[in-house]
Amino acid sequence: MVGGSSVNAKDDAVATLSFDQAIFTSIRSPMGEGYRIVAASKGVTPDEKREIVQCAPSHGSLSSTLNEATGMACFTLNGGRQCVFLSRTAGIEHTARGGFRVFTHVCLFDPPVFRRLSCDLFAIEDALRECFDDQQMKKPPMCLEQGRIALNETRAERGAAPSDRDLGHAARILAAVLAERRLLVVGARCARDVLSAVVGALPAYTRRRWSLSYGLKYSPGRRFDLMFTEATNIEQTRILRDHDVTAINWSDQPLQVDSPYEDWVSFVERGWKTGRTASASQICAGLTETCDPVVLACLARLSEDLEHVAEADRSLLREIERRHAGESVSIELHQRMLADLRKATERRRWQIDVEEQADAEAEEDAILGLA
Amino acid sequence: MAKNLINNPKRAACLICETPNPPDAVLCTECSAPMALVYEARAQEHEPQMVSILGDSNVGKTVYLGFLLDMLSQRANDFEAVPRGAYSVDLQQTVVSHMAYRMFPPKTPMELDEWKWTYYQVCKRGGGAKWIDLLMPDMAGEAIAAEVASPSTFRIIQNLLHKSSGLLLLVDAALAANGSSQPDFFALKMMSYIDTLFVCKRGAKIGMPIAVVLTKADYCPECFDDPARFAEANLNRLWNLCETRFSRVGFFAASVVGSLAYATAGGDDVVTPVPLHTALRGVLEPFEWLVDQV
């Protein structure tokens, strides 16, 4: 076990956390018609409602034109709460002029709750996607209580990896995000999987600060940091330039970006290639405080060395110890991983001692038997 | 201040919110209004007059504005209109071509960058013809409703109203005639919002000309006979507020659709209205009145 939050995640395996929620969609009701917040729990403040309405997706905002289109967004509200949009189509809009009706379940998480959820919106999405059934989406409830989320297994323990053909793009996107570049990714084959993998490899601290979306059309009103969409046009490309957003087309070569986080990105990429995504994911879940590229690189090396210790011989153990001997420790997770490494090397040394002793005894027995 | 920024070649200030933008920006980085408006205004060397079209979702703002512009560009009633930039023609083209295919145009999305803006130079021929530059955005009804319900949700609407020389407030006459209080309440909220926006001394009235257009009047033909009386009877809350707080309000009835059919697919509970033909009535009058007033 590497990161501290995975331990917490186990402790919290059956815990449920409460959150405020709202529904943004288009229905005809005595209070009006068209897209608006049709129901909200009591804790949603007027200021939060205003911010939600400013960027919630209305008709034609989902980038897929299919009947079963879905979209998601996550961003921080001015008041500090984390806002998650889970959008999907819910039949035809009642005026028949608005195409598919977009139904958005808005969830607001207090910062401590979001941290306990490892700031991982894909885990949240997995847990909440089925909150409303078809009938409820057709006729949304007029009033809402606070919602509850139960995470039986956090994603921090499993991680996620993009497919082999998407690895190059995903790694460069991760590097760009860590270097604080705002991106619009167009035409990604498996947008959700790629974004999920990138998010899984971002420190929880960064996840909390970064706003992102997938499945929604680009609009300057939704000023998110990382957006995955299906298509864009020439005018939008010019608008992106004005807003300092870099557009990445999936059919082009992966983005070349200078990032001080290259060591970390390489570590994550190796994990994606070998299917060992849990290590990076667990470290990220535990990184709830800001950390610089040097620390991330240290953690990456520590994590890999921890995996090597189990198979190491004496010289490799010495080499690993030497590598981490003078490391300055600034965050708790780093300290914990160093302690884990010390324990692991001691255990491995003891194992080697035992093995060597057993070998010596076996050799002695063999010599005695021969005599 | 805006005038200076319009003429400043290095930073183009948005016509709506006056935020300085890079010289080649497409949309205002703050409010998403098209910067083409600024470049056009710069070429004309003066700021255009703005007329805002307000109304609830599904009241018919897009269809009304589309046909109004089409009538103007077809020189209806001695009007002459010149679109400033191809983008100004998009709206009327969308409306006219959809109606020709017996479809209502798509709803205007809430996303600001999806709104269609029109910039026209209009004049009425005859003695002493004076050209007026008119800027009319087609705003989403949902965005207007959200702004009215919670001011500053869409600041662009607030800024637009502040800069408007006149307003066209569209109210669904068919719903009102049917006994629904929704059009009356929405219009009341809208006028109350405008009243708050243009704060003036107690007892003084707001002088901005406002044309209240009773749309879908073909459902209640009596509306055409005396729109003001219709409003007094069916939109009484709105009528009272107008009387108390606004000095220049005109009531007009308008209709665009001649006959309407309803279509539905088997097993589908969505009913689609099909405009079988258009029969424009009362579309130009509110605009003509407004142009006379500004």
CA distances from residue A1 to A85, A123, A203, B21, B177 in whole angstroms, order as listed: 32, 20, 17, 52, 71
Residue B153 is nearest to which of A53, A91, A243, comparing CB atoms? A53
CA distances from A254 to A83, A248, A267, A270 (A): 30, 8, 18, 17
Instruction: Looking at the structure, tell me whether residues B137 and B164 fall in a common domain.
Output: yes
Q: What contacts 24+ positions apart, CB below 8 Å, involve A324-329?
A: A324/A298, A327/A298
Token pair belonging to B42: 């710069």
**What pLDDT does residue A162 have?**
84
CA distance B191 to B194: 5
Instruction: Give the closest residue to A186 by CA, choosing from A127, A256, A240.
Output: A240
The count of CB pairs under 8 A between chains A and B is: 93
Q: Residue B290 to residues B70, B125, B169: CA-CA distances in angstroms?
A: 17, 16, 12
Digit-coded pLDDT (tens) for B209-219: 999 999 999 99
Q: What is the pLDDT of residue A61?
A: 86
Binary contact (B111, A34; C-beta < 8 A):
no
| Minimal-distance CA residue of chain A relative to B182 | A32
- B72 with B172, same domain: the answer is yes
Lowest model confidence (mean pLDDT) among A209-213, A216-220, A231-235, B275-279:
A231-235
Q: Does a structural domain hold residue B169? A: yes
Residue-wise pLDDT tens digits, A3-51: 322 333 444 445 788 899 999 999 887 777 889 999 999 999 999 999 9
What is residue B272's three-state secondary structure? strand
- Would residue B267 count as lying in a domain? no
Report which secondary-structure segment, H or E, holds A109.
strand A100-109
pLDDT confidence of residue B10:
61
Q: Which residue has the higher pLDDT, B131 or B232?
A: B232
Kindly state the average pLDDT of the residues B145-158: 92
Does B113 lie in the same domain as B30? no
> Cβ contacts (< 8 Å) between B114 and chain A: which residues?
60, 219
Q: Is B107 on the interface with A (CB under 8 A)?
A: yes
Look at residue A36 in the predicted model and tell me its pLDDT.
92
Are residue B9 and residue B58 in the same domain, yes or no?
no
Does B26 touch chain A if contact means CB atoms closer than 8 Å?
yes
Report yes or no on B274 lying in a domain.
Answer: no
Strand partners for B214: B171, B253
Phi, psi of B272 (to 5 degrees): -100, 120
Confidence of residue B71 (pLDDT cuts 50, 70, 90): very high
In a domain, B194, yes or no: yes
Which pLDDT does position A12 carry in this prediction? 45
Name the domain count of chain B: 2
Q: Does residue B98 sit in the same domain as residue B16?
A: no
- What values do phi and psi take at A52, rounded to 5? -65, -50
Is B258 part of a structural domain of the chain?
no
One-letter amino acid for residue B49 of the chain: Q
A49 part of contact set with chain B, CB < 8 Å: yes
Cα–Cα distance for residue pair B220/B19, rounded to 1 Å: 45
Mean pLDDT of chain A: 84
Percent with pLDDT over 70 in chain A: 92
Residue B197 region by backbone torsions, left for phi larger than 0, else alpha for psi between -120 and 50, else beta:
alpha
> Is there a single domain that holds both residue B67 and residue B170?
yes
* Contacting residues for B258 by C-beta, under 8 A, at least 6 apart: B218, B275, B276, B277, B278, B279
Rounded distance between C-alpha atoms, residue A30 and residue A33, angstroms: 8
| Pairwise CA distance, residues A48 & B265, whole Å | 39
We report the CATH number of the domain holding residue B113 as 3.40.50.300
A-facing residues of B in 30-59 (CB < 8 A) are 32, 56-58
Q: Is residue B177 part of a domain?
A: yes
Does A1 or A93 have the greater pLDDT score?
Answer: A93
B121 and B166, same domain (yes or no): yes
Spell out a b/e string for A144-166, using b for 16 or more CB atoms within 10 Å of the CB, else e.
beebebebeebbbbebbbbeeeb
Provide the pairing of β-strand A246-249 with B79-83. unpaired
Ordered structural domains, chain A, with CATH: 4-249 (no CATH), 291-371 (1.20.58)
The tally of CA atoms less than 13 A away on the side-chain side of residue A102 is: 29
As a whole number, mean pLDDT of residues B24-33 equals: 86
Inform me whether the pLDDT recorded for B246 exceeds 90. yes
Which of the listed ranges A113-122, A162-171, B115-124, B226-235 does the model predict with the highest average pLDDT? B226-235
For residue A2, give the DSSP letter: -
Averaged pLDDT of chain B: 88
| Residue B161 CB burial class (10 angstroms; 0-12, 13-18, ≥19) | buried
The pLDDT assigned to A137 comes to 77
Q: Under a CB-based contact definition with an 8 Å cutoff, are residues A248 and A183 in contact?
A: yes
Cα distances (angstroms) measured from residue A219 to each of A73, A235, A240, B115: 13, 11, 9, 12
The residue of chain B with its CA nearest to that of A26 is: B142
DSSP three-state, residue A291: coil
Residue B66: in which H helix or E strand, if any? helix B61-73
With cut-offs at 50, 70 and 90, classify the pLDDT of residue B2. very low
B63 and B197 share a domain?
A: yes
Angle between the B284-293 and B61-73 helix axes, to the nearest 10 degrees?
80
A145's CB contacts (< 8 A; 6+ apart) are A41
Q: Is A159 helix (H, G, I), strand (E, B) or coil?
A: coil
Q: Sort out which chain B residues have CB atoms less than 8 A from A139's CB and list them.
A: none
Structure tokens that stand for A291 in this block: 């950390």
Query: For A261-280, what is the mean pLDDT?
Result: 89
Task: Indicate the burial class of A24 (C-beta count within 10 angstroms; 0-12, 13-18, 19 or more).
Answer: buried
**Rounded CA Rg of chain A:** 25
Residues with Cβ within 8 Å of B284's Cβ and at least 6 positions away in sequence, in order, are B68, B71, B72, B76, B77, B79
How much is the average pLDDT of B56-63?
92
pLDDT-derived band of residue A311, with 50, 70 and 90 as boundaries? Answer: confident
Q: What pLDDT score does A7 carry?
A: 31
Q: Are residues B74 and B123 in the same domain?
A: yes
The pLDDT score that the predictor gives to residue A1 is 33
Burial class (CB in 10 A: 0-12, 13-18, 19+), A323: middle
Is residue B215 located within the same domain as residue B100? yes
Find where tokens 């319009």 sit.
B6
Q: State residue B56's pLDDT score.
A: 93
* Whether B110 and A33 lie within 8 Å, measured CB to CB: no
Spatial separation of the C-alpha atoms in residues B175 and B183, rounded to whole Å: 7
Of B87, B143, B274, B190, nearest in space to A59 by CA: B143
> Which range is least confidently modeled, A139-143, A174-178, A268-272, B57-61?
A139-143
* Distance in angstroms between the alpha carbons of the first and the last residue of chain A: 49
pLDDT given at position A23 = 94
User: Is B167 found in the same domain as B31?
Assistant: no
Q: What is the dihedral of CA A353, A357, A362, A366, to 10 degrees?
A: 130
Which residue range forms the structural domain that includes residue B99?
A: 49-251+279-293
d(CA B165, CA B167): 7
Asked whether residue B37 is assigned to any structural domain, the reply reads yes
Q: Are B147 and B239 in the same domain? A: yes
- pLDDT of B11 over the 90 cut: no
Query: What is the pLDDT at residue B47?
Result: 75
B104 contacts in A (CB within 8 Å)?
A: 97
Q: Does the pLDDT of residue A325 top 90, yes or no?
A: no
Is residue B257 domain-resident? no
